[in-house]
Amino acid sequence: MKLIHHLSFVAALATSASSIAASVNFHQFSYEGNDQVFATPLKAKEYRNPILAGFYPDPSITRAGDDYYLVNSSFSYQPGVPIFHSKDLVTWKSLGHVLTTPAQLPLKNQQTSRGIYAPTIRHHKGVFYMITTLVDVRGNFLVTATNPAGPWSEPILLPDIGGIDPDIFFDDDGKAYIAHNDGPIGEPLYNGHRAIWLWEFDPNTKSVVKNSGRVIVNGGTDLSKKPIWIEGPHIYKINGWYYLLCAEGGTGMDHSAVIFRSKSLSEPFVPYENNPILTQRDLPAERSNPITTAGHADLVQTKEGDWWAVFLATRAYDKKYYNTGRETFLLPVTWKDGWPVILERGKDIPYQLKAPAINATTPAPDKLSGNFSWQDNFSKKALGFEWVSLRSGDSPFYQLTQAGIELQALTIKLDSLAQPAFLGRRQQHTHFNASTEFEMPAQQTSAGIVALQSETAHYYFGVKPGAKGLEIFIEQANKKSPKVIYHKRVKDLAQPINLRIEGNAGKIHFSYKNSQGKYKYVLKNADAKMLSTEVAGGFVGTLLGIHARAE
């Protein structure tokens, strides 16, 4: 039986412990999303927001000729930094991931919301550059490729660059620069007081010019008002002006995008008097189907000459809760007196609007927005881009077979900072159902389906053999160690076993397929808000997937 991985991470040698672990064979995994906001049909030449639904935050975009490329933060999931290709800006095709090897992405013992922060992608003279931060492990680094589908280079470390959210900018005089978030000079004046720094970068030696760093924005748009968390910088040169686009206000409801400009990189950057150029924080919380937390944007000019912005935002229920994480949205940019504006203050981000005037279509785009059904029978030679695992481990924990996929039942639980035997795909809808089919676990082994936001916020709906027959259970982690909230011996489980999770905004339901082929609920209306960012914290969205464990 050939071992096939879509992650070269797990091509490490198997340890003796994992080589004797029992395994569970999963035959399929199904997902279906059905959100009312996606139900309205698109009119001719319209597109739908978000363009990437689910946990695809901190988008960065670049154009190379007629092609657009977009990357997102991946935090402590691997492979890292998903990358997409588009011809029309609205439909996208996965190219896989940028960081796919242990050397590129060491993630041992990382909390879910650590890892990779805010990548920037740029194309310059036939080379693609991706620069990002691996917090707690490496700091800031960049990788390069001539083909955005890879392979990408080994990491080029940037030890002089502190903080997070680096951007790389290539000026038309041949010089290059890195902008990033870091602390201000001296002690911060208040909590959230940060600064944007700028360094010269030598593209030939791929190193930072020593002692070239200086602060170009202190605090934000107006230091006297104590702005917080200025970050996510991007620099552009447009019509003789240098523009600096940043996120400000933190990643919650006060999030925004703000703009500065200067005639020279050696002169001060002046903020736009009508900042922010994107936010939803001034809108009433009780509005229907609210899009919230908008900010962290990047700009791109089409070949036709129009400007567009990609940015993160969230689709909330009950005013402020979202389990789908921060998603990627797209809006046109208008220019007012030489300043780019993504959205006028007081306006809602639209779910449907006129598409970019681009006479091209993306070949065979992936299902990344709108309502859709998706199923994986694990019949291909490698796992699809949708599947990710937590952190990096010392040994393989899965293999694709003719019958599906086998997961080794490791002793590692989902609340551990080691790598559990878990594969997940993003929850992309507020209303969804997900199910999996698998063979009976061996003695002292459990297997099932998972809804996971983090090591401290998740559900594990599983089956395990007991002394008196099969036992079905639901394990919940809610800011504490996991505990069993439902447990029962059952005699009417269908074979193979089929377990299902259904999400309905802040409620979640669990059922199994019985021997008559009908789903039977074991728990309805459990708390799903505990999987939301508002309750669970962090920067990620919920993943749905499969798990096996030695008991």
- State the catalytic residues: 58, 231
In which residue are the tokens 């082929």 written? 517
Residues 6+ apart with CB under 8 A from 231: 118, 164, 165, 181, 194, 196, 246, 247, 248, 296
Amino acid 16 reads S
Q: What are phi and psi of 454, to 5 degrees?
A: -165, 180
State the DSSP H helix or E strand holding residue 292, giving kind and residue range, or none if neither. strand 291-301
C-beta of residue 178 within 8 angstroms of C-beta of residue 168: yes
How far is the C-alpha of 447 from the C-alpha of 402, rounded, in Å?
A: 20
Q: What are phi and psi of 34, to 5 degrees?
A: -145, 85
- DSSP letters, 60-80, are EEEEETTEEEEE---BTEESE
How far is the C-alpha of 196 from the C-alpha of 218, rounded, in Å?
A: 7
| Helix ranges (DSSP H) in 131-257 | none
Report helix, strand or coil for 503: strand
User: How many Å separate Cα 101 from the centre of its chain?
Assistant: 19
Q: What are phi and psi of 183, to 5 degrees?
A: -70, 160
Residues 6+ apart with CB under 8 A from 101: 8, 9
* 246, β-bridge pairs: 258
Residue of 165, 245, 160, 241 whose CA lies nearest to 206: 160
Residue of 416, 409, 504, 513 whose CA lies nearest to 456: 416
C-beta of residue 144 within 8 angstroms of C-beta of residue 152: yes
Residue of 228, 165, 215, 230 whose CA lies nearest to 185: 215
C-beta of residue 230 within 8 angstroms of C-beta of residue 217: yes
- DSSP letters, 87-105, are SSSSS-EEEEEEE-STTT-
User: How many Å separate Cα 534 from the centre of its chain?
Assistant: 17
User: How many Å separate Cα 144 from the centre of its chain?
Assistant: 21
Residues 6+ apart with CB under 8 A from 318: 505, 506, 529
- Is the peptide bond between 332 and the residue preceding it cis, with omega within 30 degrees of 0? no
How far is the C-alpha of 454 from the C-alpha of 451, rounded, in Å?
A: 9
